[in-house]
Amino acid sequence: KTDRWGENSKESVYGGAITINGDLNIKGTDQNGNADWGIAANPENVLSRFNNAGIYVDVENSTVTVQGNVDMDVYGNGVTANGKNATVTITKGGSITVPHTIENGKHSYGYYALAAYDGGTINMNANGEANDVRLDGDIFVTEGSTVNLGLATDPSYLYGIIDNGGTVSLTLTNGAEWYNVAKNKRYCQDNEELANYEQSKVTNLYGGSNLYNAGTIIQEANSKVLKIYNLYGAVNVKYS
C-alpha cells in the first residue's frame, strides 16, 4: 500500500486491529541448523519504508499489539508503522536484530530496528517497566511520527542511532545502555523521506532518579552529534 503515485491506498476511516496474546518469534535457521534470518527475502531494497518487516502496519488507523515479548531477526526493518495513526505496540520487551551494512562492507541501505513514517507510532515497553529490551539496529522516525521506547533493565540496550524528525520519548534507566553509533547508511536514492540527516535526536529522555539507577549513553569515536531536547532525571554519558 502506498500513495507514491497519487492514490492514497493507505487511507482508512476505521482501520483494523490485530492482537497477539503472547510472545512473537521470527527467527530462522539455515540448512545446517545455524542461526539465520527469520525473514530474508528481498535483501536489497532501495526505499526503507518498503523493506520487509517483522511487523508492518501500512493502513491508517490500524493497530498491531503484541501482549508479550518479540524475538526477531529480520533482513529489513524490525517494526514499521507507516501511515496516520498506524500503530504497533509491544507491551513488554524482547530483541530485534537487523543488518549492519556499515560493518559488513556491503552496499548501504536503510534497515531499522524501529521505523515510523507518515504519522505512524511505535511503542515498545513504553512505560519503562522491568522488561529486557535488546535492539541491534538504528531507529528512524519521520516528521509527525512517534516512537516511545523503554530501556529500563541492566541487560537492555540500543546499538544504533535515533534518526528522528518527529517525536521520540526514551526511558534509559537501571544500567541500560545506548550505543549512539550508526549501523546503516541510507541509500543515495532513498530520499522520499528524511528524519534528522542520520544524526541522533531525542525529544524526551527520561533518566534515573540519580546516577546509580540511571542508564548510560555511550559516545564512541565515530559517534555523530546527539541532541536531547528535554531531559528528565539523571543519565550517565561515557566517551570511548
Q: Which residue has the cell 532501495?
A: 46
> What's the CA gap between 157 and 140, in Å, rounded?
17
CB within 8 A of 34, min separation 6: which ones?
Answer: none
Task: Read off the pLDDT of each residue in 70-97 and give the average, rounded to a whole number.
Answer: 96
How does pLDDT run across 96-151, given as a tens digit for each residue? 999 887 665 555 678 899 999 999 999 999 999 999 999 999 999 999 999 999 99
The amino acid at residue 62 is S
Residue 157 phi/psi, 5° resolution? -160, 160
How does pLDDT run across 169-201, given as a tens digit for each residue? 999 999 999 999 998 877 666 666 778 888 999
- Say if residue 49's pLDDT is above 80: no
Share of the chain above pLDDT 90, in %: 67
Long-range contacts of 233-237 (CB under 8 A, 24+ apart): 233/173, 233/206, 233/207, 233/208, 233/209, 234/207, 234/208, 234/209, 234/210, 235/172, 235/205, 235/207, 235/208, 236/211
